[in-house]
Chains A and B, each alone.
Chain A
Amino acid sequence: MDAELRKQRRLAATKARRNVFTETVHPKSYFELMTDEEREAFFARERKRSTTALKQRKIRKTILTAIGLVIACSISLLALVPIFFTFLNSFMSSDEIISNYSVIFQSMSGHNSSGATYLSRTPVLKLIPEEVTIKQYTTLLFMNPAYLFKFWNSIILTLPIVGGQMAVACLASYSFARYRKKRREVLFFSYIILMLMPFQVTLVPNYMIADTLGILNTYWAIILPGVFSTFAIFLLTKYMRQIPSGYIEAATIDGATEWQIFTKIAIPLCKNAIFALTILLFIDYWNMVEQPLVLLTDTELQPLSVFLAQINEPEIGIAFAASAVYMIPPLLIFLWGEEYLVEGISRSGIK
């Protein structure tokens, strides 16, 4: 039945293409050929089929949504667990932390019991303290001035680097974006190469230069290389190049000087990117470990990030509180510039 109908339709279509108009007899439809009983049965069957199909589709969608949700939640949980873990464990007593996690250090080489203990015992990862206490915080903040001094070391290192690097980056990026000559492109390319290089490659030259300049084991050994880092210049240049040239030409026609164009047009237009870079740089340099570890041999000058990276058995009792306090400044900075960061990243193509 279907084949006959298709054949008739094909024939009618062919004739129509050849402009042959024939009065075709309107064929009876599938439903017209049916008897009432068959039609009722057909509709009933179709209703059942469509209902089943809808149900299956709904179930499938639900399952897929659930799976996706589980995966998303798992990933989120994996990302959030360390943070929760840190904050919740910071309210444990030192004794409880030591009893739970000291086995980690005992398994390290050089420890008395070495790895044998680790084989027999595993660290107990607990989220809920046996006894909620703020002893860790009081011990950390009231009885460990060294921690506070290291905190100020971090601030002393991070703020000049971020401020200096942003100042240099704004000026350099404007230059690279505004005046695109061949030599400048070469220079910019070299910046890109520098940015692409691993940090460890430039660490030795940095050390030698600092040693030559006599600033080794001083804050300047960290601040100066940080101020002239290329990452911010590269990103800001890319961002500034998106500024329409008509804006600058209009300003030029209106008599604006180069400085006025830079301060009144370029910088405000790049505000989002600047804030985003500021946040990223702050987080980056707040967490730096290698530079101070190599360039600052005096432990009293080292920032907090080095201490956290070196938390060992004697400090395990306050490790979580120290980490929690350590997280607060980046968190506040992020919350402060969250919108700038999202917008700046989305428009500059940072991924």
Chain B
Amino acid sequence: MKNRRKTIIRIMVAFVAGLALLTFFSNTIMNLTIPKVMGEYATRGNLAYTNTATGTIKVENETKITGVEGRTIDKILVSSYDTVNEGDVIATLKPVENSDDLKELQAQLLTLQREKEYAERAPSSNTLTTYEQAVDTAQDTLSEAQEALTAAQNKQATIDSADATILDQSSQLAEYQSALDYATAEKAGYEDQIKAIDDSIKPLADQITIYQSYGYQITIEEDTGYYRFTDPDTGLTESDPVGTTPVTDGEKIRELCYQINQYIDAKAPIQSDLDAAQAVIDSNSASIAACELAITNAETAKEAAEALPSVSDAQKLVDTAQTGLSTAQQSLSDAQVNAGIEADKAQDAADDRDKSIEELETKIAELEAKIEQTEIKAPASGYVYNISIEEGSVMEKNQTIAYVIPVDDRQCTATFTFPSEVASRLSIGDDMDVTMGYVDSCTIINIKPDPDNPREYKQVKCAINDAYAFPGESITVRADKSNKDYECVIPSSAVNKDNSGYFVYQIIGSSSPLGDKYTVKRVDVTVEDDDGTYAAISGEKLDKDAMIVVRSEKPLEDGERVRLEDFDSDKKKT
């Protein structure tokens, strides 16, 4: 029993202690868990203030005074808003002591010019010849291999053909040989007959010769060999018959000529037969030679065919040759590409070199001109202002060291940024009210989208209608006096946006015995107008009397409980 009571007492103590701890840390826990928000009631009003904008006056026809890069200012002879005439000296420059830059540029130029000269003198190398020769060689090899393959494929047919040729020619050769032998024998017979006739003619011809030596005119026809004689005494010719016994020399001669002519006539058919036999001999000799040549050729072809490799070996050779040809062609193609690239590189390098040379020449010219410059002069007449250099300062490239603005006919402008909706009510030529700034008025001369936010804002450029306006002055203008009266205007920070659109969190307060409790309720709204600071909203579910969250410690969710910042203290004060 006592133990039970002790246990119960411990439980009681623990319970009370726990509640005491919770009470002690209650505010801490609540501060950590419940976000603190700042609420504000929506007001009825307009966004007239959104139609004002501030801009800076700028002179359009000002003239820039550009400095000389790298030069040091020695003395500045004018101050801001001094009046100067064109050509007046604005500042003097210290002489250039160190011209290393110029020397370096000149050295670079010289180097480039030499490189260009060497490049122009360099012979053009044709690196492709080797590759082309290799391709030709490979092509020849392939052709040979293909022929060898074809020959190998026709090897047996060649051998058979050669054998047939040898056999055929051998038989013909025998025939020709027999015909030759026969003709030779005939020829020998005919020659004997001719020789006999010639032997018969010879003594007669000798007698004729003797008679000729006696002065008889005996002619021998060249073409026929006939002896012609006309007896001067009788006038008879050799063809006239002579008596049985010649008596006179003429008759003897006529008889001799007649006999000789008879022999010649007898010799002629024999001679033709001899010629025919000789022709047969020649023909058969030629045929025999041809047959022997054909046999020799056939034997040679047969030997060559027998010496040929097998078809597979020949095919391998063809493949190898084909591969070699492909490799050679690929090498040639690669070499052509590389040669093209190298050529392009060389051309590019040459172009770059030319350009660099041109730039260097320009730079050297500019640098030489700058080195020679000793003072900066006013490019126009007017006020000098915005001098951004000091004596002893080194000028940078394209640095504007001052401006010159006209004294009388200054064209001043100012650019203002307005929301697009406000700008849509403006038009070129409208005058705008200057609410702040020492300017009489300004007229809109240009309206264009703001480059930073072209959809939301537009830049309105105005011409300043004031002869005494100076650049740099700030002026504020109002674009539109009238504005729409909105029912709900709240700070823009109260408007949130997500994928489903714009929404605000309304604070729903409830009072209970545990005190006032506040929760937030998400309400979808439509933003009618927004100037970045305040927004005009509307919505069907928007309770215009409810407080709207304008600031929160952490992101809120619909229905989340919140604490109102300083709300309790405000309530106590009231």
Please list the residues of chain A having a beta carbon within 8 angstroms of any beta carbon in chain B.
Answer: 141-152, 155, 299, 302, 306-307, 310-312, 314-315, 328-329, 332-333, 335-336, 339
In the complex, what's the smallest C-beta–C-beta distance from B192 to chain A, in angstroms?
152
Closest A-chain residue to B561, C-beta based? A143
Q: How far is the CA of A339 from the CA of B4 in the complex (A)?
A: 12
> A87 to nearest B CB, angstroms?
16
Residues of chain B within 8 A (CB-CB) of A150 are 513-514
Report Cα–Cα, A148/B561, bound state, in Å.
18
22 pairs, A vs B, C-beta closer than 8 Å: A142-B30, A142-B33, A143-B34, A143-B561, A144-B514, A146-B513, A148-B22, A150-B513, A152-B23, A299-B515, A307-B514, A310-B512, A310-B513, A314-B510, A315-B514, A329-B12, A332-B12, A333-B12, A335-B4, A336-B5, A336-B8, A339-B1
User: Closest chain B residue to A328 by CB distance?
Assistant: B15
Docked-complex contact B513 and A306, CB < 8 angstroms: yes
Residue in A146, A329, A336 whose CB lies within 8 Å of B514: A146
Compute how far the CA of A336 lies from the CA of B9 in the bound complex, rounded to whole angstroms: 7
Q: Which of B4, B16, B33, B512 interacts with A315 by CB under 8 Å?
A: B512
Q: Which residues of A contact B497 (CB under 8 A)?
A: none
Residues on the B chain within 8 Å of A311, using CB: 513
Interface residues of B (CB under 8 A from A): 1, 4-5, 8-9, 11-12, 15-16, 19, 22-23, 26-27, 29-30, 33-34, 510-515, 517, 561
Set A142, A143, A149, A332: member contacting B11, Cβ < 8 A = A332
| Docked complex Cα distance between A82 and B513 (Å) | 23
Contacts of B517 in A (CB 8 A): 314
Query: Nearest B residue to A300 by beta-carbon distance?
Result: B515
Q: Are the C-beta atoms of B23 and A145 separated by less than 8 Å?
A: yes
CB <8 Å contact, B8 and A332: yes
Contacts of B11 in A (CB 8 A): 332
Please give, as numbers and ranges, the residues of chain A lying within 8 Å of B9 by CB-CB distance.
Answer: 336
Q: By the criterion CB–CB under 8 Å, are A149 and B23 in contact?
A: yes
Please report the C-alpha to C-alpha distance between residue A339 and residue B511 in the assembled complex, in whole angstroms. Answer: 43
Q: How far is the CB of A310 from chain B (nearest CB, A)?
A: 5
Q: Whole-angstrom distance from the CB of B543 to the nearest CB of chain A?
A: 14
Shortest Cβ distance from A274 into chain B, in angstroms? 15
The 5 A-B pairs with the shortest beta carbon distances in the complex, nearest first, are: A145-B26, A146-B514, A314-B510, A307-B513, A148-B23
Chain A residues near B511 (CB, 8 Å)? 314
A344 vs B512: C-alpha distance in the bound complex, in angstroms? 41
A316 CB, min distance to chain B CBs, angstroms: 10
Residue of A nearest to B18 (CB): A141
Q: Which residues of A contact B515 (CB under 8 A)?
A: 146, 299
Contact of A143 among B5, B8, B12, B29 (CB under 8 A): B29
Closest to B27 in A: A145
Report the nearest A residue to B511, measured CB to CB.
A314
Give CA–CA (A155, B20) in the complex, Å. 12
- Shortest Cβ gap from B34 to chain A (Å): 6
Query: Which of A149, A314, A332 has most B Cβ within 10 Å?
Result: A314
The CA-CA distance from A145 to B23 in the complex, in Å, is 6
Complex-state Cα separation, A312 to B29, whole angstroms: 25
B513 touches A299 (CB 8 A): yes
Q: Given A143-B29, A143-B30, A145-B27: A315 and B513 within 8 A (CB)?
A: yes
The CA-CA distance from A54 to B16 in the complex, in Å, is 59
What separation, in Å, do the CA atoms of A332 and B15 have in the docked complex?
A: 10
Interface residue from A148, A314, A315 paired with B19 (Cβ < 8 Å): A148
* A residues less than 8 Å from B1 (CB atoms): 339
Closest residue of chain B to A304, judged by CB? B513
**Inter-subunit contact B33/A143 (CB<8 Å):** yes
With a cutoff of 8 Å between Cβ atoms, the chain A residues found around residue B510 in the complex are 314
Assembly CA distance A336 to B6 (angstroms): 8
- Are B12 and A336 neighbours in the complex by a CB distance under 8 Å? yes
For A306, list chain B residues within 8 Å (CB): 513
Nearest CB in chain A: distance from B517 CB, A = 6
Q: Which residues of A contact B8 (CB under 8 A)?
A: 332, 335-336
- What is the CA–CA distance of A339 and B8 in the complex, to the nearest angstrom? 13
CB distance from A306 to the nearest CB of B (A): 7
Can you add 14 more A-B contacts, CB < 8 Å, to A143-B29, A143-B561? A141-B22, A142-B22, A146-B514, A148-B26, A155-B16, A310-B513, A312-B512, A314-B512, A329-B12, A329-B15, A332-B15, A336-B5, A336-B8, A339-B1
**Shortest Cβ distance from B8 into A: residue:** A336
Instruction: Give every chain B residue within 8 A of A315 (Cβ-Cβ).
Output: 512-514
Chain A nearest CB, measured from B437 CB (Å): 55
Interchain CB contact (< 8 A) of B29 among A142, A151, A314, A333: A142
Nearest neighbor of B12 in chain A, beta-carbon distance: A332
Find chain B residues with CB under 8 A from A146 CB: 513-515
- In the assembled complex, the Cα of A299 lies from the Cα of B512 at a distance in Å of 10
Q: Which residues of B contact A333 (CB under 8 A)?
A: 12
A147-B29 in contact (CB<8A): no
- Inter-chain CA distance A79–B8, complex, in Å, is 24
CB contacts (< 8 Å) of A145 on chain B: these are: 23, 26-27, 30
Distance between A272 CB and nearest chain B CB, rounded to angstroms: 14
When chains A and B are docked, how far (Å) is the Cα of A15 from the Cα of B510? 100
- Which chain A residue lies CB-closest to B24? A148
Beyond A143-B34, A145-B30, whether A302 also contacts B19 by CB under 8 A is: no
Bound together, the chains give a CA A205 to CA B364 distance in angstroms of 113
* Complex alpha-carbon distance, A143 and B32, angstroms: 10
Q: Which residues of B contact A302 (CB under 8 A)?
A: 513
B27 touches A151 (CB 8 A): no
A307 and B561 alpha carbons, distance in the complex (Å): 20
Residues of chain A within 8 A (CB-CB) of B33 are 142-143
Instruction: Provide the residues of chain B in CB contact with A336, threshold 8 Å.
Output: 5, 8-9, 12
Measured in the bound complex, the distance between the Cα atoms of B513 and A333 in whole Å is 26
Give the one of A143, A144, A145, A310 with max B CB within 10 A.
Answer: A145
> Min CB distance, A282 to chain B, in Å?
12
Closest to B517 in A: A314
CB-defined contacts of B22 to chain A, threshold 8 Å: 141-142, 148
**A141: B residues at CB distance < 8 A:** 22
When distances are taken between beta carbons in the complex, the residues of chain B under 8 Å from A310 are 512-513
- Across the interface, do B19 and A151 meet the contact criterion of CB distance under 8 Å? yes
Nearest chain A CB to B16's CB is how many angstroms away? 8
Contacts of A143 in B (CB 8 A): 29-30, 33-34, 561
**Which residue of B has the minimal Cβ distance to A325?**
B19
Bound CA span A336–B561, Å: 39
Would you give the shortest CB distance from B212 to chain A, in whole angstroms? 166
Report A-chain residues with C-beta under 8 Å of the C-beta of B16. Answer: 155
Q: Across the interface, which residues of B come within 8 angstroms of A312, CB to CB?
A: 512
Q: How far is the CB of A333 from chain B (nearest CB, A)?
A: 8
Question: CA separation between A152 and B22, bound complex, in Å?
Answer: 12
Q: How far is the CA of A161 from the CA of B30 in the complex (A)?
A: 32
| Minimum CB–CB distance for B1 against chain A, Å | 7
Which of B5, B16, B512, B513 is most buried by chain A, counting CB atoms within 10 A of its CB? B513
- In the assembled complex, the Cα of A150 lies from the Cα of B22 at a distance in Å of 13
